Amino acid sequence: DFRRAIHEVPPSFGATDTQFENYAENGIFNYGPVFDKLLQSGNAFVEQVKKSNRTPMMSVLLHGKPGCGKSSLASTLAKGSLFPYIRIISPNDLIGYNEASKASKITKIFEDSYKSPQSCIVVDEIERLIEYVPIGPRFSNLLLQTLAVLFKKSPPKGRKLLVIATTSNPDILRDMDITDSFATALNVPSISNSSDFKNVLLSLEFTQKEAEEASSYFSAPITIKQLIMIVEMARQEEGRLVDNFRSCLEDFNLRSF
């Protein structure tokens, strides 16, 4: 494993403090009722795991378009649980490890959670974790099987565990028969109406007037991550912000291939 050469002393994997910094970098904008309900559902799962003895283990799958905010939402729910043991398992932290090492690190995080009275584990971008690619298709069956068992395995008597997993590709998870391992699933939507669109722009420091004008250019669902990028592009150019925004939005749609 070449990784060893790079980090003689690897940082403690998935540790809370530094890791959560990299999520929800631009904060969480409460852009409307759709998002509100989503947040509420997420928090309800936290409560159930905390209180019910018949369901001491729950695993939830967050799914939605690339950039819709899955990772940010998952990490926010985990942090908000205030459980003594919270961790994020992310492909970003596993570059350069081989299948077996990845499986080992993931398993370790779950086994450690079994020692804490209450735990929450975020498993981010399952399809990337299992190294999925549609051509073939190929993926790591070792990682898939490891996750499939861990998503379903109860912690020891008296311990509680909430697992929040994310994916941009729920269809292939179903094709892999792994969705039965989850107790339930939640869809994270794109920005799909001009009111939500306007609210996001306001959060991005558009004035009320700018936001109103700009939101009239809303024509098709767009993810929150893309919207942030387009606003930033617009800000780099000279001229009226809203005009720049309009042309950047158009360019973006053309360039997408």
Ligand X SMILES: Nc1ncnc2c1ncn2[C@@H]1O[C@H](COP(=O)(O)OP(=O)(O)OP(=O)(O)O)[C@@H](O)[C@H]1O
Residues that bind Mg ion in the complex, under the rule CB under 5 A:
71
213 binds, among ligand X, Mg ion, its own copies, none (CB under 5 to 8 A by kind): none
**Could you say whether residue 120 binds ligand X (CB under 6 A)?**
no
Among 24, 34, 39, 131, the residue binding its own copies under the rule CB under 8 A is 131
In terms of CB distance, is 28 or 98 closer to ligand X? Answer: 28
Give the one entry of its own copies, Mg ion, ligand X, none that residue 229 binds, where binding means its C-beta sits below a cut-off of 5 to 8 angstroms depending on kind. its own copies
Please compute, for residue 109, the number of CA atoms within 13 A of its CA located in the half-sphere on the CB side.
27
* Interface positions, 27-56, toward ligand X (CB under 6 A): 27-29, 31, 35
Phi, psi of 201 (to 5 degrees): -60, -40
Amino acid, res. 39 = L
Q: Which does 131 bind (CB under 5 to 8 A by kind): ligand X, Mg ion, its own copies, none?
A: its own copies
Angstrom CA distances, 248 to 1, 137, 218, 242, stand at: 43, 35, 13, 10
Closest by CA to 113, choosing from 159, 45, 56, 164, is: 159
From 8, 17, 25, 238, residue interacting with ligand X (rule: CB under 6 A): 25
SS3 183: coil
Q: Tell me the DSSP string of 165-211.
A: EEES-HHHHHHTT-GGGSSEEEE---B-SHHHHHHHHHHTT--HHHH
| Residue 70 engages ligand X in binding (rule: CB under 6 A) | yes
Residue 52 contact partner, candidates ligand X, its own copies, Mg ion, none, CB within 5 to 8 A by sort of partner: its own copies
> Binding to its own copies by residue 191, rule CB under 8 A?
no
Report how far residue 154's alpha carbon sits from residue 151's, in angstroms, rounded to the nearest whole number. Answer: 9
State the binding partner of 68 from its own copies, ligand X, Mg ion, none, CB within 5 to 8 A by kind: ligand X
Can you read off the two tokens belonging to residue 15? 């540790």
Contact present, 191 and 31 (Cβ < 8 Å): yes
Cα 105 to Cα 107: distance, rounded to the nearest angstrom = 5
Q: Of 85-114, which residues contact its own copies (CB under 8 A)?
A: 91-92, 95-96, 100-101, 103-104, 107-108, 111
- Residues near ligand X (CB under 6 A): 24-29, 31, 35, 66-73, 125, 168, 224-225, 228
